[in-house]
Amino acid sequence: MATGCSVRKNEFYDSVFLMRVAKRIAEQPGVQQAAALMGTEKNRSLLADIQVSSPALDTATPNDLMVAVVADTEQTVRDILDQLDQWMRRDRDSGKESAPRTLDAALARQPDANLAVISVSGQYAAREARHALERGLNVFVFSSNVSVDDELALKEYARERGLVVMGPDCGTSIIGGLGIGFANVVRRGPVGVIGASGTGIQEFTTLVHRWGSGISHAIGTGSRDLSDAIGGLSALSALDALERDRATKVIAIVSKPPGAKTLAVLIERISSCDKPVVTCFLGVRDELPGANVRFRIARTLDDAARIAVQIATGKSPISNFQLPTPNFQPPTSNLQLPISNLQSPISNLHFAPERKYIRGIFAGGTFCYQAQQVLQDLGIRVYSNAPLPGNMRLSDPRRSIEHTLVDMGDEFFTDGRAHPMIDASLRRDRIVSEANDPRVAVLLLDFILGYNASADPVGDLIEAVTLAQSRARARGGTLAIIASVCGTDGDPQGLQRQQRQLQDAGVIVLPSSAEAARECGRLVLAQG
């Protein structure tokens, strides 16, 4: 094994771009592992963990780029590092005008702009966001590692001025039809959404699109916004903005459980909203004051999207989803049924007695959380690295116990690596590992399309899926693989194209993450 690294002083790149660079390098012959990171103390430690060391790394700062390679030979390492300019090249036309280097220069070029996207090192993000707010701009803060104190100060400052701070660590928003971060291509329409979760927003907006309506704006708040430490300041500001917006006819709020104090404040504000509001707080079982009188409450993202579409259009959404026909021979196809009446495509599938466990391997953290809730509602408790209250925590996220749902986007797996929405290598290994367990009856997978995600999420995993099935057959057993694909046919990857790849490989494809989880539960319970 050979290692090597390069440090470039005062070159900053956003994390999504660096994830893609690392993935491209890691895919080269002879490369075992690659990392492209900014020179924070934590990132230097991560490189030490993969046994990459250099005096240059010891002095790297958060403004410096670090690229490390672990390969079979020293020649491979040299070849990669000698061509670093090529790997760092963005896909841009050379004739395009160069991007402005400062906020003031950008505003001089676009004086009517009302939104700034902040993607700089976390230690500088608050300062740049504050500067944008002072110039009267709303901000989308993609940057992470911003302190709670800085986040609170930014959001208090913004709320006093009628502005919205999306983030920090905001992965998804859609503003005026333009997706920011990890977003899907959806039509514009009367439904506005506020979300503390990027994948939650993605699932909601794509379902609204697929069920015939559209999105006015989708406003991400950042994962900490609904904690009691922040108090839902961005969610409240976003609710004010959508209430004023003429194009928005119904508002949905989707998130994991808010803090108790924040939830009370939010419910009071929702109850006074002039527009219909739908809430989906995953994992919240308590009765909420005014629920289904002053606002509608949904148990899952599907329910929230269905209710919002029904309010916006006056009609119950109809599923045009085609149930799969390969291998498992489901009894019906081309269903035109209300979504809640979707029939089980694999109710006639049976397993050996020892095969009784579900293993969920998720790229989307919200999907992992929602699947736990769906299974809990069916009386199935699971282990997870991100457990819902009432479930059990895995002592080692790399090893499953009985029914296990794993969020592969958790920091445990992504430290020093690309997110699984971009790089599926860890999920690939986990699929094969779970398939080798003779007690596993069903694998539950999610695939997420859209801008900045992998160019072919299904293609990245299809070899592992095929291998898992063939190993189960070789042992004379049955392994069901159930999946959902979050996206639309407007996405670069193409929803139907991705679904077809899965179906052709014998995977059972359901129209949403919640339906896929519910099908897993039904299947396991039917086996007794």
Summarised one tens digit per residue, pLDDT across range 143-188 is 888 999 999 999 999 999 999 999 999 999 999 999 999 999 999 9
Q: Which pLDDT does position 346 carry in this prediction?
A: 55
Q: pLDDT (tens digit, 9 = 90+) per residue, 204-220?
A: 999 999 999 999 999 99
Write down the CATH superfamily of domain 103-313: Succinyl-CoA synthetase domains (3.40.50.261)
The burial of 389, by beta-carbon neighbours within 10 Å (0-12 exposed, 13-18 middle, 19 or more buried), is given as exposed
DSSP codes joined into one string, 71-101? ESSHHHHHHHHHTHHHHT--S--TTSPPPPS
Q: Are strands 65-71 and 31-38 parallel, antiparallel or unpaired?
A: antiparallel
Q: What is the pLDDT of residues 415-431, one digit of tens each?
A: 767 789 988 999 999 99
Nearest residue to 335 (alpha-carbon basis) of 346, 322, 348: 322
Contact assessment for residue 491 and residue 184, using Cβ atoms and an 8 Å cutoff: yes
Question: What span, in angstroms and rounded, lies between the C-alpha atoms of 437 and 134?
Answer: 57
Structure confidence at residue 90 (pLDDT): 65
Same fold? 103-313, 319-526:
yes
* 280: β partners: 254
Specify the pLDDT at position 349.
67
Tokens for 172, please give them.
């998804």
Q: Which two tokens stand for residue 452?
A: 């900045």
Residue spans of the chain under pLDDT 70: 90-98, 319-350, 416, 528
Q: Specify the DSSP class assigned to residue 395.
A: S
At residue 338, the pLDDT reads 38
Answer CATH for 319-526 from 3.20.20.140, 3.40.50.10680, 3.40.50.261, 3.40.190.10? 3.40.50.261
Tokens of 69: 């390679």
**pLDDT for the residue numbered 319:** 62
Three-state SS for 236-283 is HHHHHHHHHCCCCCEEEEEECCCCHHHHHHHHHHHHCCCCCEEEEECC
Closest CA to 159 of 265, 270, 233: 233
d(CA 317, CA 106): 43
- The pLDDT of residue 324: 44
What is the pairing mode between strands 250-255 and 188-195?
parallel
- The domain ranges of the chain are 2-87, 103-313, 319-526
pLDDT of residue 97: 59
What architecture is domain 2-87? 2-Layer Sandwich (3.30)
In order, the DSSP letters of 191-232 are EEEEES-HHHHHHHHHHHHHTT--EEEEEE--TTTTSTTTTT
Check: CB of residue 447 under 8 Å from CB of residue 509.
Answer: no
